[in-house]
Structures are given as structure tokens and as C-alpha cells.
């Protein structure tokens, strides 16, 4: 074992020493670190054993049988937010062979409350579980059924408990505990030792008084985990065996190397021979050949082979686990990837949400840095089994030492017969494998912090993907898999996966990083479902993310992206915006007038009319934060995109609130200072003035003019072209009012002839002149009495058509116009990791096998090629052929023999 440990450590230490920095070591794709597993021949001399209890779960039949003292009992009603996922408490406690498939699905969703904190590190938890886990009622599978009824049932017990206390006779009310408790104040009860059994018996009675629930029942569990106690266990110190339904013990055996310079990991090659295909393998510290493994939690017996089964001395083992006690505590948070989330969301969330994510990001960094520092300490190998006892078997739990659950002779036989360990032995001035791992983890955590500090709320393609990659790398190293199943494919592409054959970590054989943008599709961010489920918020983030890619560019590049973002806000969608229609000769929908480009950009850059859900206001702040002029960027964007038609924005809503709006139909023509707007735009711009003058003169009713204000007067563009340019402005305006009155008459709308006659008398330009300019025709309007009025010229359009219906592409998507104040957390509590099963890459040391003709064909016999390069090629071809590769020494000997025989 020592020789293999020295060789493994030499390959890792040399690669680390030849790298200029930790960053170079992690990013170098040419680093290749083969790791060999081995047997432990003289196991009793090389490792020693230590046994402990890692957890205890006791299911109580009656609370009065509880013997562990406690001082405080909660009496206040529980709230929904206090619910906890109880699957983690009971998943190894139940005999799952007696549970149906549907029952197991429901059991994963059960919820409960911590009822009391007991002495010696124990907790009392009330969990609501279906009465039958074989024939499960369908209502139990409904999303909110278990949480809602859990709160009702547990609070029902507390209500009945308080009622019982109120109805106690006087002699019971004089108990010391009740004298110090205000029963009507539903807070907490300070339970004195002499009254503990009495209080618990009243809780039992309150539980029995509850109306029987058709599908669910409340069960009480006493538990503690992670204590690693070496003292013997005695059930009587926890509870009366007569009041216990079932007791499960988590018992562990630690294997510790005698040599303090040696570190051991469980090997994939060896444990593959001890566990069946249903076992779950997790890569340890991003080294493919090193694993942790556990049996599946399902209805089947543990999938283990006979040599492993002989290690346990007791018959009721329901769970097996082999792991290295490296730092791996989870950061309990509802926000996954908080640091990359702070960057990618660009500060678009509600302030409370942004603050919550920022707090989690700081805690996440502290947690990861803490684990990285601890990774430099010594690791032990651990074997953990769970033994369940119930009924008459509970009597056996009387001063039971943890070592009694293991057959140490069978254990050492397995170590001698199977290559179960991957050793690392440090020599001289070499850093240990623990120190190298710690330095790599600290580098990644520190890089995360720097990215968060520099780019929070600013987006950016590389910063987002780099932070996301580092978070995945930390998860893979510390937990053996990404914490979200949707991240598995991203982990492979980013090089952090130890399982995918083309991932950098897998190809190196040790922790590594690929290209930070290797998983990106075009210019898209990581999956936004990690940070929000709100569809509108996702679209807003996508809009802003595209802009952040160009923040450091010149206005000619940044400007078009800023204009596109504004258009996406106005159209309320990110796709299907046809820029070519906004550049064409014809207005896409209703033309409402024209606007100078300078005026438009000034309004857009300065008006405070873009609150949430607009993204444009945040975009303006980011552009200003880069020291750029927003108006200049907008001007450059409009000129670069050659946009001629732009949405006719109203900067205030009907209530007068500063909120931009657009009806998805009306446009204005944009023109620059050096170019006059089209006559059509000028005509639409003057419609309002003409209508207002007609209304002021009493020519027609305001309601008659509504549709003309909305859809324009079709005769105005041609009339304006035909009025001589030297005509005075006031005369020109009166001509437009006159011809508009004629247009209304020709559209069979009411016009006051009396007022129209007065207008003709005021007009300096006669109808004859208007006929000469081909504005009026020689045809007389019918039913006009007292004066003559001519119709519009025959080639001037006058008929008002039906308004255009919305085309499908113009309809806004089915999105809310307002966002919820806070995004809901997106964590799936019960998500089980999807694991890719792989085989060991290297043949264990001290394993003999005849060299096949295929293997010999993998050996490069070019004498100018070094043995190291030839070995790397050989391992790659073995991987492709699904064959375990031999050790470096064995390969070297075979290659020398073949070269000598040539």
C-alpha cells in the first residue's frame, strides 16, 4: 500500500509543483494524474479501527415514556413557515420493504415541527404521516395537502393540551410547573423535572382527544445525528421500551491510517466489487477513482455482495454507507448559486429579494471558505450502517457498544482481498493531498467572492459564467454532484464533472476547470430557473443580460442594444420584433405624427416614466455607471439601426402617473435635424390641431371627431402637398379646417352649415382658388342650402375605412404588467441527484492480468516519445475501449520489453 501511496502522491505533487499558480493548475488541460487503488495486505498494522454512534432515531408510542429531561415546551401555535422537511429524519428509520412505491413517494414529502429540544443533544419532533404506507389515499399526493393538515393536526394537539390544563382540578394546578406558567398565554412552558411525566401524559391525552383524521396521524420521534459518541447505547436512558415503536441506530466504523503522512480514500474499483448496480456512487473531492457510496433508499434490500454483508454482525441492517469524513456540510438556503445570481439578475429584483440574495451570497462564501480551510485537515474512512429494532428486539438495546455491530476480522479480510483504498503518502517536502485540495478550494471560493464584489448587479457574460462554474466546481468537490439536477449537463460542459468522459476533471483524473463559457449557448446566461420562476422576470433578465455584454463598448455598439432593450420592453416580448418593419418606407400600423430624434432621445434619457416592469430604467443606470451618456448612446443606436418608425409612447397614464405606455398600434416617424419629416407624418401630427379648431368653432360635435383623432384624416397629406408654400400659416390652417369639414360631410358625418358658411367668409382663399390647386373639385355637395360648397377633388382620398384589427404578431404575450413584490425561492427540497454511473478507469495495483493483443496495440513504440506521453495516450485508448488501464509502472515495464524485442 505504501508504494502505491507514494506513486499516487508523486504524480499529484509534481503536477501541482510545476504549475505557476493554483489557477494554472486547475486550468491546464495537459495535466494528467493517474490514481491507483490497492489492497491493504497487513491491514492490522497499517490502519486501526474506532467505532461510534453517529445517530439515533426512536419512534414513540406514548410521550409519557420519554426519559430524557427537557426544560422548555412550545405551546404557541405553529406557523406554515416553521414546517421542516422530515424525510431527512426518518428516511433511514423506516423498514422501507414494508412501504409501497406510492407510500415512499408520499413519505419523501412528509413535514413536521421540532416540538421540544431535549438534553444530551436530542430533539423531539412531531411528524404527520399517512396511516397506511401501503395503500395510500390519493389526496396525500396533492401539493398542499400534507403541509396544510400537518399544521392543523399539530396545532390541534396544542389547543386540546391548553384546554386540558385549564380544566385541571385545583390540586393539579398547584404543581410547580403550572404555577410558573400562564396557561392563557400561548408561549412556552418551563417544564420542571418532577412534572415532566405529568405534562407528557397530558400531551398524550390531547392527542387522543383529536377527532380521527381520515388519512393522516401524528407520530413523535426522538432523534439526534452527528454526535459520534463512543459510549455504549442504552434505550432505557431515552425512553421506556414499552412506549417505543421502533429504534434505529446509525453505527460507524472509522479506519485511520497508522502513518500520519498517509491519507486514504475509498476506491471506485474496489467498492464496485462490494456493491450491486443499484448502489449510489458519489465522486469524492473531484477525483474520479475516489468515491463515497451508499445503498438506495427503496423497497428492496440493500444491494450489497456477500463479503460486505459478513462485516455486519446484526441481521437487521437496512442501510450501508462508505464515505470519507471530508468537510461536506450543506449550506441550508432557499437560494442556489447566490453569487452568480447576484450578478446575472442585474439588480432587477425587488429590493427585499436583492437584499436576501446578497445576504445568502455572503453566508455562502463564508461557508465555502470554512469548508476549504477544513479540507486541509486529516480524513478518516468511515463505514456506517443503520440497524433497526422493534418489538421484542428492543430488549437487546441494553448497554450496547458500537463495536458489537461489526466483525472486525471480516472487515480486515475485505481490506486484504479487495482493492478498497486509494492511498496518498506524502514524502519529504511534498504538500499533502489534503493541502492541495484545500488550496484549490480556497482559490475557487476567493475567486467567487471577488467576482461577486466587482460585478454584483452588473451582469456580464464572462463574470456570470465564471461564477456559475466555480459554484458548480465547489458543489462537485464537496458533495460529489451538482445540487440541482438541471446543472448536470452544465457541469460536464464547464469541466467540473468527474463523471462525464469529456469533462476536464474526468480527463485529468483530478479536480479541474474547463472553459468558463463552455456551456453557453450563443450569448445566453445560465438557467434562470435557479433564481426566479416568474416568466416576466426571466424575460427582463434576458433583456438586460444582452445589454451588459456591450457596456464596455462604444456608443455605436452599445446604443443598438439599448434601443433593442427598450423595444422589447414596449412590445412586452423578447422575440418576434421585426426591426426591418421599423426601418421600411411604410409605417407598420397607425401613423400618429413625427418627432425629432434629439427630442425623442432626450425624453427617453431623462424622463422618469419607466418603473417596474420596465427594464429600461435599470439599463440607463448601468450605462451611466460606465461613464457613458445615455442620450448619446440612444442617438447612436437609432442611427445605427436606421429606425424610422418608433412606438408613440405616452409618458403618463390616464391617471397622470409617470408610467410610459403604448397601445401596440400607434407609431411616430423619427427624423433628424437635417431632414424634414414625411408629409404623412406632418399630416398626422396636425390632426389634433385641426380637430380642436373644428370643435372650437362649433363645426361638429367632439364625439364625431373621436375616430378622426384616433385614425387620422386621410385627405390631409394630399391637401398639404397642394397648398402653395407661400400661403400664410393662419390661412393654411383655415384651409385645412375647411377641407376637413368637407371630408366629414362626404363621410356622412354631421357638420354645422351655418358655422361652415362663416368660415368661408373669413377665408382669404376662395373655393375657386382651391379648385385651381386641385384641392376641391367642381362637384357640388348635396343638400347644402344658402351657399355653394364643393367636394374634395376626385383623386383625394376621403373615405374613412374600418380600423385595422390587431395582427397576431402585434398582440402582447400573456404576461402580467405588474410583478409580484418578491420572487419565490426556487429550491426543490426533496430533489434527489441524478447520478451517472461510471466504471473505474485504472486497474488496481497488485492485480495481475494477461496483456491482450488489443492492449499491446495501444502502446506507442516510438522510442522518441517519452514514457509519460505514451502512457497518457494508452489511458485514453483504454477509456475509449472501456478497459481499465494498468499502472504507470506496469505500463513502463511492458513498453521496455516490447522495445527491447523489436
CA-to-CA separations, 259 to 256, 327, 378, 822, in angstroms, rounded: 9, 21, 11, 55
**In this predicted structure, what is the pLDDT of residue 1?**
83
Mean pLDDT for the stretch of residues 397-406: 92
- Structural contact between residues 823 and 532, judged by C-beta atoms closer than 8 angstroms: yes
**In this predicted structure, what is the pLDDT of residue 869?**
85
Other beta carbons less than 10 A from residue 794's beta carbon? 10
Count each helix (H run) and each strand (E run) in the chain, helices first.
33, 19
Q: What is the mean pLDDT of the chain?
A: 88
- C-alpha 702/C-alpha 693 separation (Å) is 11
**In this predicted structure, what is the pLDDT of residue 836?**
61
Structure-derived torsion over alpha carbons of residues 581, 586, 588, 590, reported in degrees to the nearest 10: 160
Burial class (CB in 10 A: 0-12, 13-18, 19+), 437: buried
Of the listed ranges 226-240, 312-326, 679-693, the least confidently predicted one is 679-693
Bridge partner residues of 421 (DSSP): 38, 266
Q: In the predicted model, is pLDDT for residue 64 greater than 70?
A: yes
- C-alpha 674/C-alpha 746 separation (Å) is 38
CA-wise closest residue to 264 among 228, 242, 227, 289: 289
* pLDDT bracket for residue 429 (50, 70, 90): confident
Q: In the predicted model, is pLDDT for residue 326 greater than 50?
A: yes
**In this predicted structure, what is the pLDDT of residue 834?**
61
- DSSP per residue, 357-396: HHHHHHHHHHHHHHHHHHTTS---EEEEEEEEEEGGGGGG
**In this predicted structure, what is the pLDDT of residue 807?**
45
**In this predicted structure, what is the pLDDT of residue 801?**
65
**In this predicted structure, what is the pLDDT of residue 810?**
46
**In this predicted structure, what is the pLDDT of residue 65?**
94
Beta strands in 437-518 (DSSP E): none
**In this predicted structure, what is the pLDDT of residue 831?**
54
- Structural contact between residues 263 and 432, judged by C-beta atoms closer than 8 angstroms: yes
H/E element holding 218?
strand 216-229
Helix residue ranges per DSSP H, 60-113: 87-90, 101-107
Mean pLDDT for the stretch of residues 102-123: 92
- Structural contact between residues 67 and 46, judged by C-beta atoms closer than 8 angstroms: no
pLDDT in tens, 41-51: 888 888 999 99
pLDDT in tens, 540-554: 999 999 999 999 999
CA-wise closest residue to 276 among 298, 255, 293, 290: 293
Mean pLDDT for the stretch of residues 868-876: 85
Bridge partner residues of 216 (DSSP): 130
Helices 630-641 and 597-606 meet at what angle, rounded to 10? 130
- C-alpha 194/C-alpha 877 separation (Å) is 74
- State the greatest distance between any 2 C-alpha atoms of the chain, in Å, as a whole number: 128
Checking DSSP bridges between strand 590-596 and strand 666-671, what pairing results, if any? parallel
**In this predicted structure, what is the pLDDT of residue 46?**
87
- Structural contact between residues 269 and 485, judged by C-beta atoms closer than 8 angstroms: no
Bridge partner residues of 91 (DSSP): none
Secondary structure (H, E, C), 168-194 = CCHHHHCCHHHHCCCCCCCCEEECCHH
- Structural contact between residues 190 and 181, judged by C-beta atoms closer than 8 angstroms: yes
**In this predicted structure, what is the pLDDT of residue 689?**
86
CA-wise closest residue to 247 among 102, 61, 375, 519: 61
- C-alpha 582/C-alpha 642 separation (Å) is 8
Cell of 758: 362663416
Cell of 682: 406632418
Mean pLDDT for the stretch of residues 21-29: 93
Helix residue ranges per DSSP H, 19-63: 22-27, 43-46
Mean pLDDT for the stretch of residues 600-625: 93
pLDDT in tens, 740-754: 999 998 988 899 988
CA-wise closest residue to 112 among 188, 59, 64, 181: 59
**In this predicted structure, what is the pLDDT of residue 890?**
84
pLDDT in tens, 804-849: 444 444 444 444 444 443 444 444 444 566 656 677 777 787 777 7
- C-alpha 340/C-alpha 451 separation (Å) is 8
pLDDT in tens, 275-285: 988 899 999 99
- Structural contact between residues 750 and 700, judged by C-beta atoms closer than 8 angstroms: yes
Residue 197, C-beta contacts closer than 8 angstroms, at least 6 positions apart: 64
pLDDT in tens, 113-130: 998 999 999 999 999 999
Burial code (b: 16+ CB inside 10 Å, e: under 16) for 141-173 equals eeeebbeebbbebbebbbbbbbeebeeeeeeee
pLDDT in tens, 291-322: 999 999 988 889 898 889 999 998 889 999 99
Q: In the predicted model, is pLDDT for residue 444 greater than 90?
A: yes
Quick one: how far is CA 581 from the chain centroid?
37
Residue 189, C-beta contacts closer than 8 angstroms, at least 6 positions apart: 72, 73, 75, 177, 181, 199
Cell of 750: 354631421
Of the listed ranges 355-364, 479-488, 574-583, 800-809, the least confidently predicted one is 800-809
Mean pLDDT for the stretch of residues 430-435: 92
SS3 content of the chain, % helix, strand, coil (to 5): 45, 15, 40
* pLDDT bracket for residue 686 (50, 70, 90): confident
- Structural contact between residues 304 and 274, judged by C-beta atoms closer than 8 angstroms: yes
The SS3 call for residue 583 is: helix
**In this predicted structure, what is the pLDDT of residue 673?**
67
- Structural contact between residues 439 and 24, judged by C-beta atoms closer than 8 angstroms: no
Residue 32, C-beta contacts closer than 8 angstroms, at least 6 positions apart: 15, 507, 508, 509, 872, 875
- C-alpha 418/C-alpha 842 separation (Å) is 14
Report the length, in residues, of the chain. 902
**In this predicted structure, what is the pLDDT of residue 830?**
46
Cell of 332: 441550508
- Structural contact between residues 739 and 717, judged by C-beta atoms closer than 8 angstroms: no
- Structural contact between residues 43 and 416, judged by C-beta atoms closer than 8 angstroms: yes
H/E element holding 414?
helix 408-417
**In this predicted structure, what is the pLDDT of residue 819?**
44
- C-alpha 716/C-alpha 775 separation (Å) is 10
* pLDDT bracket for residue 290 (50, 70, 90): very high
- Complete edge-to-edge strand list for the sheet that includes strand 47-60: 84-85, 111-117, 123-130, 216-229, 47-60, 244-257, 381-390, 317-324, 287-294, 280-284
DSSP state of 80: G
Q: Which phi and psi (to 5°) does residue 790 adopt?
A: -95, 150
Q: What is the pTM of this model?
A: 0.82
Q: Which phi and psi (to 5°) does residue 892 adopt?
A: -60, -40
Beta strands in 118-215 (DSSP E): 123-130, 188-190
Residue with the larger pLDDT of the pair 88 and 809 = 88
Burial class (CB in 10 A: 0-12, 13-18, 19+), 238: buried
**In this predicted structure, what is the pLDDT of residue 835?**
59
Cell of 481: 454532484
H/E element holding 779?
strand 776-780
Rounded to a whole number of angstroms, the CA Rg of the chain reads 39
619: left (phi over 0), alpha (psi -120 to 50) or beta: alpha
The SS3 call for residue 881 is: coil
CA-to-CA separations, 899 to 364, 379, 814, 869, 892, in angstroms, rounded: 55, 43, 72, 16, 11
**In this predicted structure, what is the pLDDT of residue 822?**
40
- Structural contact between residues 747 and 722, judged by C-beta atoms closer than 8 angstroms: no
pLDDT in tens, 170-201: 888 888 888 887 777 667 888 999 999 999 99
Residue with the larger pLDDT of the pair 224 and 75 = 224
DSSP state of 430: P
**In this predicted structure, what is the pLDDT of residue 833?**
63
- Structural contact between residues 681 and 669, judged by C-beta atoms closer than 8 angstroms: yes
The SS3 call for residue 61 is: coil
Amino acid at each position: 500500500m505504501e508504494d502505491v501511496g507514494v506513486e499516487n502522491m508523486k504524480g499529484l505533487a509534481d503536477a501541482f509543483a510545476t504549475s505557476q499558480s493554483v489557477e494554472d493548475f486547475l486550468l491546464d488541460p495537459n495535466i494528467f494524474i493517474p490514481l491507483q487503488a490497492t489492497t491493504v495486505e497487513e491491514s492490522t498494522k497499517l490502519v486501526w479501527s474506532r467505532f461510534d454512534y453517529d445517530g439515533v432515531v426512536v419512534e414513540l408510542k406514548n410521550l409519557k415514556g420519554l426519559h430524557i429531561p427537557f426544560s422548555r415546551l412550545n405551546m404557541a401555535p405553529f406557523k406554515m413557515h416553521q414546517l421542516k422537511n422530515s424525510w431527512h429524519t426518518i428516511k433511514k428509520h423506516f423498514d422501507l420493504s414494508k412501504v409501497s412505491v406510492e407510500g415512499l413517494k408520499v413519505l419523501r414529502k412528509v413535514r413536521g415541527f421540532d416540538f421540544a429540544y431535549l438534553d444530551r443533544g436530542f430533539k423531539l419532533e412531531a411528524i404527520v404521516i399517512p396511516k397506511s404506507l401501503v395503500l395510500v389515499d390519493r389526496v396525500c399526493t396533492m401539493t398542499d395537502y400534507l403541509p396544510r393538515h400537518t399544521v392543523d393536526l399539530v396545532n390541534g394537539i396544542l389547543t386540546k393540551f391548553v384546554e386540558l390544563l385549564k380544566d385541571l382540578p385545583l390540586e393539579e394546578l398547584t404543581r410547580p410547573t403550572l404555577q410558573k406558567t400562564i396557561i392563557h398565554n400561548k408561549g412556552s412552558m418551563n417544564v420542571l423535572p418532577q412534572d415532566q411525566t405529568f405534562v407528557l401524559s397530558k400531551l398524550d391525552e390531547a392527542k387522543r382527544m383529536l377527532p380521527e383524521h381520515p388519512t393522516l396521524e401524528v407520530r413523535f420521534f426522538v432523534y439526534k445525528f452527528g454526535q459520534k459518541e463512543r459510549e455504549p447505547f442504552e434505550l432505557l436512558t431515552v425512553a421506556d421500551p414499552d412506549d417505543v415503536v421502533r429504534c434505529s441506530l446509525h453505527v460507524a466504523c472509522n479506519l485511520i491510517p497508522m502513518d500520519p503522512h498517509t491519507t486514504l480514500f475509498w476506491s471506485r474499483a474496489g467498492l464496485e466489487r462490494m456493491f450491486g448496480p443499484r448502489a449510489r456512487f458519489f465522486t469524492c473531492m473531484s477525483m474520479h477513482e475516489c468515491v463515497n457510496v451508499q445503498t438506495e433508499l427503496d423497497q428492496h434490500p440493500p444491494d450489497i455482495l456477500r463479503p460486505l454483508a459478513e462485516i455486519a454482525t446484526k441481521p437487521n441492517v437496512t442501510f450501508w454507507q462508505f464515505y470519507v469524513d471530508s468537510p461536506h456540510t450543506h449550506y441550508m438556503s432557499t437560494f442556489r448559486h447566490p453569487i452568480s445570481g447576484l450578478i446575472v439578475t442585474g439588480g432587477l429584483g425587488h429590493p427585499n429579494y436583492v437584499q436576501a440574495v446578497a445576504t445568502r451570497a455572503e453566508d455562502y462564501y463564508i461557508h465555502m471558505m470554512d469548508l476549504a480551510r477544513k479540507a486541509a485537515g486529516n480524513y478518516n474512512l468511515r463505514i456506517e450502517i443503520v440497524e433497526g429494532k422493534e418489538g421484542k428486539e428492543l430488549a437487546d438495546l441494553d448497554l450496547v457498544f458500537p463495536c458489537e455491530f461489526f466483525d472486525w476480522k471480516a472487515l480486515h479480510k475485505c481490506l486484504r482481498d479487495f482493492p478498497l483504498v486509494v492511498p496518498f503518502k506524502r514524502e519529504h517536502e511534498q504538500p499533502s493531498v489534503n493541502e492541495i485540495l484545500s488550496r484549490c478550494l480556497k482559490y475557487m471560493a476567493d475567486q467567487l467572492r471577488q467576482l461577486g464584489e466587482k460585478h454584483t448587479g452588473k451582469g456580464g457574460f464572462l463574470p456570470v459564467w465564471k461564477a456559475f462554474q466555480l459554484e458548480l466546481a465547489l458543489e462537485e468537490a464537496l458533495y460529489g454532484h451538482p445540487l440541482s439536477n438541471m446543472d448536470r449537463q452544465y457541469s460536464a460542459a464547464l469541466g467540473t464533472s468527474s463523471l462525464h468522459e469529456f469533462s476536464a476533471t474526468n480527463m485529468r483524473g483530478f479536480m479541474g476547470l474547463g472553459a468558463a463559457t463552455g456551456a453557453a449557448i450563443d450569448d445566453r446566461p445560465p438557467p434562470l430557473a435557479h433564481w426566479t420562476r416568474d416568466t416576466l422576470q426571466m424575460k427582463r433578465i434576458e433583456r438586460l443580460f444582452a445589454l451588459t455584454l456591450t457596456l464596455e463598448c462604444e456608443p455605436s455598439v452599445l446604443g443598438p442594444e439599448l434601443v433593442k432593450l427598450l423595444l422589447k420592453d414596449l412590445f412586452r416580448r423578447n422575440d418576434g420584433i421585426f426591426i426591418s418593419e421599423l426601418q421600411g418606407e411604410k409605417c407598420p400600423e397607425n401613423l400618429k405624427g413625427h418627432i425629432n430624434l434629439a427630442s425623442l432621445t432626450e425624453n427617453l434619457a431623462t424622463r422618469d416614466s419607466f418603473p417596474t416592469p420596465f427594464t429600461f430604467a435599470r439599463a440607463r443606470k448601468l450605462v451611466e455607471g460606465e461613464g457613458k451618456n445615455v442620450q448619446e448612446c440612444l442617438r447612436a443606436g437609432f442611427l445605427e439601426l436606421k429606425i424610422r418608425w418608433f412606438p408613440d409612447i405616452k409618458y403618463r397614464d390616464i391617471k397622470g402617473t409617470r408610467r410610459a405606455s403604448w397601445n401596440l398600434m400607434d407609431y411616430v416617424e423619427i427624423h433628424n435635424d437635417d431632414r424634414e419629416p414625411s408629409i404623412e407624418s406632418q399630416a398626422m401630427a396636425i390632426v389634433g390641431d385641426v380637430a380642436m379648431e373644428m370643435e372650437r368653432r362649433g363645426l361638429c360635435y367632439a364625439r364625431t371627431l373621436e375616430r378622426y383623432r384616433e385614425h387620422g384624416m386621410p385627405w390631409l397629406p394630399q391637401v398639404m402637398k397642394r397648398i402653395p408654400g407661400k400661403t400664410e400659416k393662419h390661412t393654411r390652417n383655415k384651409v385645412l379646417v375647411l377641407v376637413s369639414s368637407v371630408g366629414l360631410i362626404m363621410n356622412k358625418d354631421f357638420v354645422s352649415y351655418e358655422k361652415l358658411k362663416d368660415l368661408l367668409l373669413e377665408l382669404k382663399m376662395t373655393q375657386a382658388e382651391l379648385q385651381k390647386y386641385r384641392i376641391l373639385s367642381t362637384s357640388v355637395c348635396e343638400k347644402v342650402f344658402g351657399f355653394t360648397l364643393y367636394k374634395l377633388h376626385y383623386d383625394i382620398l376621403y373615405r374613412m375605412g374600418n380600423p385595422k384589427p390587431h395582427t397576431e404578431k402585434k398582440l402582447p404575450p400573456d404576461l402580467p404588467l405588474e410583478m409580484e413584490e418578491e420572487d419565490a425561492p426556487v429550491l426543490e427540497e426533496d430533489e434527489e441527484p441524478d447520478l451517472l454511473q461510471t466504471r473505474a478507469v485504472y486497474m488496481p495495483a497488485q492485480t495481475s492480468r494477461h496483456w491482450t493483443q488489443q492492449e499491446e496495440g495501444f502502446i506507442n513504440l516510438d522510442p522518441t516519445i517519452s514514457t509519460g506521453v505514451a502512457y497518457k495516450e494508452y489511458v485514453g485508448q483504454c477509456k475509449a475501449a472501456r478497459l481499465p488501464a494498468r499502472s504507470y509502472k506496469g505500463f513502463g515495464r511492458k513498453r521496455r520489453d516490447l522495445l527491447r524485442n523489436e
